[in-house]
Amino acid sequence: MLKIENLHAGIEDKEILKGINLEIKAGEVHAIMGPNGSGKSTLSSVVAGNETYEVSEGSITLEGEDLLELSPDERAHKGIFMSFQYPVEIPGVSTTNFIKTAINAKRKALGFEDLPAKDMLKMIREKSELLEMDRKFLSRSLNEGFSGGEKKRNEIFQMAMLEPKLAILDETDSGLDIDALKIVANGVNKLRNKDNAVLVITHYQRLLDYIVPDFVHVLHNGKIVKSGGKELAYELEEKGYDWVKNL
């Protein structure tokens, strides 16, 4: 599904990603772990199309299509969903309206008509039940005054509604208490299926107790220095990131 080959990217004169190779197939969950400053957020930003970063070499394709040619919106329409470490607040726009707009924009880009209101409502009902969401949040302004856990639950709801091919969760766990963490993990687990894929980026092993990855990659200084199965996350937790720095 997603194929990253020899990706080099950075900002002005500073190279941050120094030759990343990563292939994610449909149905898989991959985790990227690594010390602070190793390039985890840069990698997710570059995949999502954040124009702050310049790609100097390499390629990123989604189902064979060159993503680097596409704007962030176009990438979202192709099925990339990115969960942010710090979700934005949008006063005056309800979560429901925000999501309706996003869904219809995506449908339009793919050549479909707007989703009929009754189908939209049915979908909102189904997904909010699946995620055990309190529906009253849906009518509140997006993220305004939401607690950390509520913002994250809301993001997972957006992800559920948009049904992305590839969801990227960049440190979705930071600052969450254990209950909020479980909500996020349960949501992600309920949305996992054989046709989509998830990339979980995290500094801590903790989240991976709940979202069990098929593959774990360790990023250090802009390169994947080690890949393995879920046991690699435990090894990292045990040995610490200094171990990685000497690989």
Q: Which of 129, 164, 131, 167 is nearest to 149 (CA)?
A: 131
Q: Of residues 21, 41, 97, 186, which one binds Mg ion by CB under 5 A?
A: 41
Binding segment for Mg ion among 39-47, 103-111, 143-151, 181-189 (CB under 5 A)?
39-47
Does the footprint of Mg ion cover residue 36 (CB under 5 A)?
yes
Q: Spell out the residues 6+ positions from residue 150 whose beta carbon is closer than 8 angstroms to its own.
A: 137
Which residues are registered as beta bridge partners of 20?
7
Segment interacting with Mg ion, rule: CB under 5 A, options 26-34, 41-49, 63-71, 113-121: 41-49
In the complex, the smallest distance separating the C-beta of residue 90 from Mg ion, rounded to whole angstroms, is 23
Closest separation between CB of residue 124 and Mg ion, Å? 31
Site membership for ligand ADP, residue 37 (CB under 6 A): yes
- Residue from 2, 7, 16, 176 touching ligand ADP (CB under 6 A): that is 16
Tell me the C-alpha distance between 95 and 71, whole Å: 24
> What sign for the dihedral angle of Cα 25, 28, 34, 39?
positive
Q: What is the C-alpha separation between 104 and 117, in angstroms, rounded?
A: 11
Interacting residue with ligand ADP among 33, 34, 161, 200 (CB under 6 A): 34
Residue 20 or 181 having the CB closest to ligand ADP: 20
How many whole angstroms from its chain centre is CA 89?
A: 18
The answer to whether 49 contacts ligand ADP (rule: CB under 6 A) is no
Q: Which among 162, 204, 168 is positioned nearest to 60, based on CA atoms?
A: 168
- Calculate the alpha carbon distances from 89 to 145, 146, 151, 173 in Å: 8, 9, 9, 19
* Three-state secondary structure call for residue 100: helix
Provide the 3-class DSSP secondary structure of residue 2: strand
Q: For ligand ADP, which is the closer residue by CB, 42 or 154?
A: 42
Residue 38 in contact with ligand ADP, rule: CB under 6 A: yes
Answer yes or no whether residue 52 interacts with ligand ADP by CB under 6 A.
yes
Select the span of 29-37, 75-83, 146-154, 172-180 touching ligand ADP (CB under 6 A).
Answer: 29-37
Nearer of residues 40 and 153 to Mg ion, judged by Cβ: 40
52 binds Mg ion (CB under 5 A): no
Strand duo 14-24 + 197-202: pairing: unpaired
Burial 29-59 (b: 16+ CB within 10 A, else e): bbbbbbbeebbbbbbbbbbbbeeebeeeebe
How many positions of this chain bind ligand ADP (CB under 6 A)?
11
Please identify, among the stretches 39-47, 73-81, 124-132, 227-235, the one whose residues bind ligand ADP according to the rule CB under 6 A.
39-47
Q: Rule CB under 6 A: say whether 41 interacts with ligand ADP.
A: yes
Positions in the binding site for Mg ion (CB under 5 A): 36, 40-41
Q: Which residues bind ligand ADP (CB under 6 A)?
A: 11, 16, 34, 36-42, 52
